Amino acid sequence: MKFGIVVNEGPYTHQASDSAYNFVKAALAKGHEVSRVFFYHDGVNVGTRLTIPPQDDRQIQEQWSALAKEHELDLVICIAAAQRRGLLDENEAKRQGKDADNIAEGFRISGLGQLIEMGIEADRTITFGD
């Protein structure tokens, strides 16, 4: 089965991104395909490389980046939601005249069309939210 995943809540405050991560890992282990993970609302905050959680806690962004690398996952951060919340890649930072960027490895910024496209192409779209 081909899954599309939506993550609608930010890391640590909500469990949604943890649950999504565990689901994706389990689905891949069972031989399913995950066509894309789309981060929306505060979910975009999963994709900043500047988080420093306590050492004895899970490192949510690093977990996602590692999983993306291992399975060539497409981790997409919504650009409109990202701009509101201060998530920028190098190109966007340059284009908007900002002095820094913060997107983590394995994530990319793109538009809401990617969410709809994912819904069309996946057999099942699963939302992890509040």
Partner 1 sequence: MSDDEVKKFLYVNRKAPYGTIYAQESLEVVLIGAAFDQDVAMAFLDDGVFQLTKGQDTKGTGLKNFSPTYRALGDYEVTKLYVEQESLDERGLTLDDLQDIQYEDEDDDYAEKPSIIVVSRDQMASLMAEQDVILSF
Active site members: 78
Report the nearest approach of partner 1 to the CB of residue 47 (Å). Answer: 16
Using the rule CB under 8 A, is 82 a contact of partner 1? no
Of 88, 46, 45, which Cα lies nearest the Cα of 63?
46
CB 27 within 8 A of CB 128: no
What is the spatial distance between Cα 86 and Cα 102, in angstroms, rounded to a whole number?
9
What is the spatial distance between Cα 128 and Cα 55, in angstroms, rounded to a whole number?
25
CB 23 within 8 A of CB 128: yes
Q: How far apart are the first and last CA of the chain?
A: 25
Using the rule CB under 8 A, is 119 a contact of partner 1? yes
Nearer of residues 42 and 65 to partner 1, judged by Cβ: 42
Q: Which of residues 15-74 bind partner 1 (CB under 8 A)?
A: 40-41
Report the nearest approach of partner 1 to the CB of residue 91 (Å). Answer: 20
Nearer of residues 26 and 80 to partner 1, judged by Cβ: 80
Residue 33 neighbours by CB under 8 Å, 6+ apart: 1, 2, 3
Q: Which two tokens stand for residue 42?
A: 């505060």
Using the rule CB under 8 A, is 113 a contact of partner 1? yes
Report the nearest approach of partner 1 to the CB of residue 66 (Å). Answer: 28
How big is the site for partner 1, counted in residues (CB under 8 A)? 19
Binding footprint of partner 1 on the chain (CB under 8 A): 6, 8, 40-41, 80-81, 84, 111-113, 115-117, 119-121, 125, 127, 129
